[in-house]
Structure formats: C-alpha cells, structure tokens
Structure 1
Amino acid sequence: MNTTVTESDSGGYSCRGRRSSSWTEWSDTITLRVIAPPKPTVTLQPSWTQIYSSVIYRGETVTVRCEIQGGEGAQWTYEWRRGQVNIRPTSSEYRISRATESDSGEYSCRGRRSSSWTEWSDITTLTVSSPPKPTVTLQTPWAQIYSSTTVTVRCEIQGGEGAQWTYEWIRGQKNIHETSSEYKINRVTESDGGGYSCRATRSSSWTEWSDITTLRVTDKPKAELRADRTAVPVGGSVTLTCSVSPSSSSGWKYYWYRNRKPYEPVTNGQISVSEGGLYSCRGGRGEPVYYTEDSESVWIDTTASNRPVVTLYPNWSEIYRGETITVRCEIHGGDTEWDYEWETNSSIKPPNQSEYRIRSASSSNSGNYRCKGRMKSSQHETTEWSDSVTLTVSDNEPCPVLTVSPSWLSPGASVTLNCEVEHPSAGWIFYWYKAVPDLSEKSSSYELLPDGSGTAQDSYIIHGQTHTAGYVCRVGRGDPEYHTYYSKHKFFWSAGQFVSLCHFNKLMFCD
C-alpha cells in the first residue's frame, strides 16, 4: 500500500481473489485521480486594500488571509513569509493591529494537509504609509464668489478613494457639523467666508489637517448701465451698455427693462434703442440663474424736431448791476404745451419756466444759458438743447460825463450841455439838472431843466444864460427804469460873477 501518492498513481483500479485454484471475477473498476494541491491566494481585508494598491495607513488594522480554492473543510496547516523571512502564524489569517511601516512587504503563503504541501502563493504586496494630507477645494464655476450663490467646499484625499472615510471640518477655530467629504453652502453669505480646513479618519487612523483654503464672499454685484447720450436724436438711436464689475468676471448674460418691464429677450451687454423711456438692466449667470442687483435707471428722451431759441430782453451788449433782464426760451411750431428745462454755468439756475426774469442783475447771473422743452402730453418727448446765449453782467456802474460849451460866456449867450455814456446806442435816455445852491444851508439841490426829463438826445441847449451856474446829468433805461449816478458838476462862468464851489455838496456822483 502506498503512503505517498503522485500523479502517476492515477488510474482505474480493480481486484479479484483466489482460493485453491479458483479465481473470483474482477471487481468493478474504481478510478483514482491524483492532482497537485491547489495554489493558495493571499488576500487583504478590508477590501479597499485589494482595490487600491494594497495600501493601508499607519495605525490601521489589516488581516492578511491565505485562501485555498476547493480546500475548504480540510485540516490545513499554513506557512507564511514576508519577503524571504518566515513569520510565525500557522493559521489561514495573519492579523496586523496598529500597522507600522515595518509591516510593509511582500506576503506569500502555502498550506499542508497530511504530508502534502501546496505551492507558494503569488506575492501580495502590503504597503503601510502615513495617511495622505487632504486638500480643500472650492467647487464653483466662477473665480469671484458673490453672496447668495451656491458653493461646495470639498475635502479631497489623493489615493484614498473608495475607503470609508469620516471627515472633520473647521472654519477658522470653529468646528462645522459635517462628516462627509463635501460641505455644501446654499446662498452663501459673508458670514460663511473664512479659512476652511479638513481631516479624515478610517479605522483608527487620522490624516493631518489640510492646509487652509480661504473662501472670500463678495457683496452681491450691481450692474452698471451707461448711455452714449440721454436723448434719441431725430431718426437716430441711443446705445446702452450694461456691465458687471470687476472686469475679470465672466459668463454674464444681460437682461434689459424699459419702464420697469422686460424690454426684449436679449442677453447682449449692448443694445441700441430708438424710443424714449426709463431703462435699467441686470446680469445673470449659472443654472439656476444668479442675478445681480438692478442697475441705476437711465432716462432716455426722444427728441422732437422743434428746436428752442434763447433770447435776452432787452438785448443790450452790456448789462449793469441792478438792471432788469429777461431770459426767454422760445419753441416755435404747433400748439404743443411744453415744460421747460434750463442749463447754465452761472451760480443761479433759472426756474423751469419759459421766462427767467432777473429783477436786479448781478455778476452771479453771468453765464451761458441754454434750454430745452419737454412735451406735457408725453414726458419722453423732448426738444434738443438750444444754442447757448451768453449773459454778461458788469459790476461797474456806468458813469456819464458832462461837458459844457463854452465854459466862459457873455451874459445872454447860449450854452450847450453834452452828456456822454458808454454804449450810447443801448437804449439810454437822458436827464438834465441845474444845481441850485442854498447859501443858508450851505448845500445845493437839483432841478430838472425844462423838457430835461427822459429826453432821447444826448445834448441840451440853454438859451440866454445870464448867471454863473452848475449842471449835472444822468441816464436811465429799461422797465422798471434803471438810473446811473449823476455826472460830475460842470460850470460855466458869467463875467463879473463868482460862486463858491463849497455849496455844491456831493450826492450820488460818479468818482
């Protein structure tokens, strides 16, 4: 009887017996099949170590298992080695608690039943390393993160995929109650901003804390609307441009509104419009759409064909302080009723009426004036601006100059008085006075000469003068009438008479 079989012992076996000279029949055949013991396989538990490069982390527990396919139920004895070094266990499992780098190596095993050994298994490599350092990333399609958007903060462990990690999160020095690899923030606010860090554990092994990744939340942006002009010219258009700052932002579509209602389904940042109204815009991006705040509204007018004209009344080349002047805005054509708007660089702005009456002009009224009209029946319809008209108000008082001819005369001769003023054609009328001395009061008064009130002539003739006398003049114009100061005294002398000049006191005279 064989005690050790080999594959050559395989075959069909039968037998017969003999007693004396008599043989039995041959027995039925029994087949013996001798095969080599199956080759073991080394596996690692938990299962992720088999899928992801047989890597475990320092401090974790792993079971190295020797499996013999088809050998279940047999009484096997096992032999293990790591590299070329035999290790102690004789069972099918080798449990490593709190692994260290020294447990790394190439593991193989074989099994024995009776006196028969299996082959050595193929090598399975176990690597024990430090847990990888996680990385925190921000999942958002935009470089700039605005309030009310959705942001996912993710903790990524390179090479740790498939493992059952439990995560821990902090923002600044505060723990976040989240144990998964993602922390989703819906409608992010400024309070969500800060430095995020994470770590993870599986079994009893913790990774390091990740480096800090800072989430910066910017206030919700506001769209900006610009117009290349504020009124649609006759037969033309106005270009409107909508933008969102900063310029590095991308992916925006633009939504337009006229009179606070959607204008037209365009998403361009620039449009041309040919009708007046109150325009605004906003930006939007993403899905669902995240909208910016609305821009400031811009009022666009439509220009009527009528063009106003600014006139000055009276239209004198020089206006003096204290005079009355009217600035008029005149719009010709049709029976349209208008509201008026003025624009000036003077320090005083006219009221929104067709006329601006300045009752006592000063240099603060000097400037360029222009106007436009807005239809009362359609507030989007305006005229163009008129051409500018310049109003100049002088703070210098005009000073008339009186001359007398001749200054010496014989009794009974005629005397001619001439009163001269700057800008003589500018509507001046003349006033002529005789100075009458009052010797008791040591003063003088002024009498209008006959027909000497408000004459259009700048000269006055006195016939048959017999006495030494003094005369003055002044001028005036406008409604209400503006008067200059009196001229200086002028005398003519009658032979044989002398008059003390001390009696002609100075009232409102030119210097």
Structure 2
Amino acid sequence: VNFIFMFFTKSKNAVLTIEPNWSTFYAGEFVTFICDMNEGKDSDWYYQLRRNGEEFFPHQPHKNFRVQELDTGYSGEFQCCGYRMSSSSHSKCSKAVTVIVSDLMETVSNKVVVTRRPNWPQMFSGEMITLTCEVQGGETTEWTCEWSRDGSNIHRTNSKDWTFSVSESSSGDYMCQCRRRDDSHSSTQWSEAISLSVSTDKPTPKLTAGSTTIPVGGSVTVSCSVEPSAGWKYRWFRKTSDTFVEFSTNNEENRDITVRQGGIYRCHGERGNPSFYSHSSYEKSIEITFSNKVVVTQQPNWPLVFSGETITLTCEVQGGETTEWTCEWRRPGFVLYRTNSKDWIFNVSESSSGDYMCRCRSRDDWFSSTQWSEAFTLSVSGEKSDFIFHFATICIKTKTMFCLSRLVLVHTHTYITYYKKYRWWRRTINTPEAEISRNNEESRDITVTQGGIYRCDGERGNPSFYSQPSNDVTI
C-alpha cells in the first residue's frame, strides 16, 4: 500500500499598521498606512486601502498609503487588501484599524523654535543636517514632533531631532510642532519658519600664494578657501613625480599654511560628520625665488688666463653654504652648462672669453631657485706669454777673483706675479741643454756661477700650464 502525505500551511493574515501609531489624530496632520501581506515579495501584490468597507485608495503596486492632510471626515475603520499579480483570484485583507480625526486639541503655549546643526548658511547636496524642534520650557518632556516644509507636512519624529541627508529638493522653509508622548491630545503651536538653502554644485576652493621671493630657509604662505567659508578644514597635496601626495598637517583648520618647497600644489575642503568634501582646487605651480645674493668667483683668480689652462668657476650663494645645489651657467643669450654642484671646472680657449652668470636650484626642489648672479668677466688669451732676461754681473774681489752673475727674469706682460714657478735651462757650445736643479720655490730669481746660454719658462695651475720659453741669454 502506498501512502501519499500532503501538507497544507495556513497563509498568514495581512496586517495594516499606521505611522505614527496613534489612535487619535487632529485635522491638518498626516498619516501613513502600511499594508503587509506576509507572503511572497512586496512586489508580488497590488494593494488597496478601504475605509468603512469602501475603497479609500485605488489599487496600486506599493504597500504604503500616505494621507497628507487629515480632516475630521477621515475618521473610520481602515482595512487593506492585497491581490496577487499572478492571480487576481488570490487575495486577502487585514483586520480593521480604527482612526479618529478630531478638530479639538489642547494647545501648549510654550514657544517653539527650530534650530539646526551645523548652522551653515549654505548646504550642499549630500551633507548631513540635524533640525531640532526646541520647546522652550519643555526641555525635560519627551516629545513627538512633526515637520512641514513650505506648508506641507513631510515628516514625523519620535524625538525633537530630525537628522537627514540634504538634496536640492530639501531647500525651503521648515516649521515644526510637537506633542507630548504621554498625551496625544496636547500639542504646541507651530514654530516660526527657518530657511534651508541647498546647492547641488560642490564648491571649488581657491588656492593662493603669498610672496615667493624668500631667503634660503624661509617659507611661503599658501591659502585655501571655500566660499561660503563656514565650517571648512583643508587638506593639502603636493605633486611628486606624476601623483599628488598629501603632506602632514595638524588637525586645525589649515586654511593658511607655510611651505618651504616650491612645486605643484592643490587643496580641497572638508567639513561635517560624516565628512563632506569639496572639489579639489585647480593646480597651482609655486616657484620660489631665493633672495640671497649670488656671486661668481674664479679659481685660480688670475685676471688673464691662456688657452688650454684649467679654471674653476664657483656659484656662491651667500647664506646658502650648507645647501646642496644644482647650478646652471649662461653667457648672454644662452645657457651654457648645468652642474650638480656649485663648481664648474673646464679648460679654457679663446672662445671662453666673455661674461658669465649663474643661478642655483636646491637639489631636492626643482621649483626653487636663486636669482641670476651679476656678470663675471673672463679674459682668455690665445697666445702663451714670453719672457726676456735682464741680468747684472757682480764682481767680488777676493784672493781668487771671480764673477757671480745674477739673472733677473722679467715677464713681457704685466701679469708676471701670476706665474708661481719657473723652470731654467743652460747649455754651452760644447754641452747640450739641461734643466738646472731647482727646489719647489718660485725660482723667479736664481744665482749662477757658470757662464753659458740660459733660458726659462713659467709654470702655473693644476694640471701644470707652461708659458712659451724665454729668449736665450748668454752669460
């Protein structure tokens, strides 16, 4: 014998609730009827609201029925019914709920004032705001309050506070009135209206900078501002490589900050809880000019140098001796060279003659530089210098008479003192030329005890640079 078991479950009844859950309302108030089928999805049903057995709201696909403004004629027995969309023969209705609408209410004389937090004159779509219905003298009473905007009732709260996220449609004049929770027959008067202005356009901050000409180690003041300015704190970003990086600030407003580096900066505003952010400001390039004086110096410091010699030009930033610099050099009309330090070492030629200027940038900040130095003049000769001899003979009479000749070297240019050392050679008719031994002194003046044919040249610099040999002198 085969047995077939069939199980039947009893469908749950429909339930009608009202919001707020009061049995008595007063003319001008609003109420929301909520119809729950307790079966399937809400979207599976059509809904109907009846009063005293007759249709009050026609069929609709939504389970909420809102009566915006009650009057005394709305009192009665309310019931909701649902009809399956897939089968109009399947329906069920809730039990009846009694609603009484009265035009008599005891009015509490306490003054009612609407306040708001935050109290900013301009709100932006997406920000949070709390409206509070303050019943003066009723601070310890528990209230249920209702709210109207531009004359229409829009909301009811079980406390005096209403917190919501604003949108452009939230703009308008708000009023409130409250009832004691333990006495629905007593109500305050309506408050005076408070205006709320909401914009859909996020604000864009303006970024400005103070003077960007500062001494090394100084700072530039930059400012970020959103108008209207109420309640904003600011976050700051500096571009490194291809991305913006937020740099450390304190928890203050940070509207005005000081920076010691140039660069590309931007900012944005933040306010409220949870945080609401403005658009980012436009990018601003801040190029700092150091006011420190810049001077070009030359080593060795000779007024005339010769083609082939090596010199060092130094870009001296006065007051910036401890800073690591990258410097660039120019002659009138074009940039010549860039160095990773303040020194530029090079071999000169005749074409090197001219006026030189320099400026430097901090190695860790390509947007910060000095001013250009004053021009420094470099003179280069293409011809090596020549020497000639003047000499004197001093005779000393002793038991054995001999003559001591003293050679005196005279440079043909006026810059003789810039040759630091001299080399000497001697030869005779019968002997080849040989360099005379010398010490590491200047050797500009030497004494000789032998006749012969002498010549010399000058030496200076590192690496050594040599002049043309002098003329021959016969002693």
The two structures have a TM-score, normalised by structure 2, of: 0.37
Q: Which has the larger radius of gyration?
A: 1
| Structure with greater proportional strand content | 2
